[in-house]
Amino acid sequence: MVDTNIKSLSIVKDLKLDQIEELAEKGADIDDIGRSLNFSPNDWKAHRVDNPSIDEAIQRGKARLRISILSYQFEKAQMGDVKMLMWLGKQYLGQSEKAGEKKEVVSLEREKEAVKKALKADPTLIKKIFAQGK
pLDDT in tens, 70-80: 889 988 888 88
E strand residue ranges, the chain = 5-6, 15-16
Kindly report the pTM of this predicted structure. Answer: 0.59
Which residues neighbour 109 within 8 Å (Cβ) at sequence distance 6 or greater?
none
Which residues neighbour 63 within 8 Å (Cβ) at sequence distance 6 or greater?
none
* 5, pLDDT greater than 60: no
Q: Would you state the pLDDT for residue 10?
A: 35
Q: Measuring CA to CA, how many Å separate 71 from each of 6, 35, 66?
A: 32, 30, 9
CA 74 to chain centre: 12
Total number of residues shown for the chain: 134
* Packing angle of the helix pair 17-25, 52-78 (nearest 10 deg): 40
Please give the Cα distance from 88 to 104 (Å, whole number): 22
Q: Would you state the pLDDT for residue 45?
A: 93
Which among 99, 65, 103 has a CA at the least distance from the CA of 83?
Answer: 103
E strand residue ranges, 18-121 = none
pLDDT tens-place string over residues 17-68: 889 999 999 999 999 999 998 899 999 999 899 889 999 999 999 999 999 9
pLDDT tens-place string over residues 59-70: 999 999 999 998
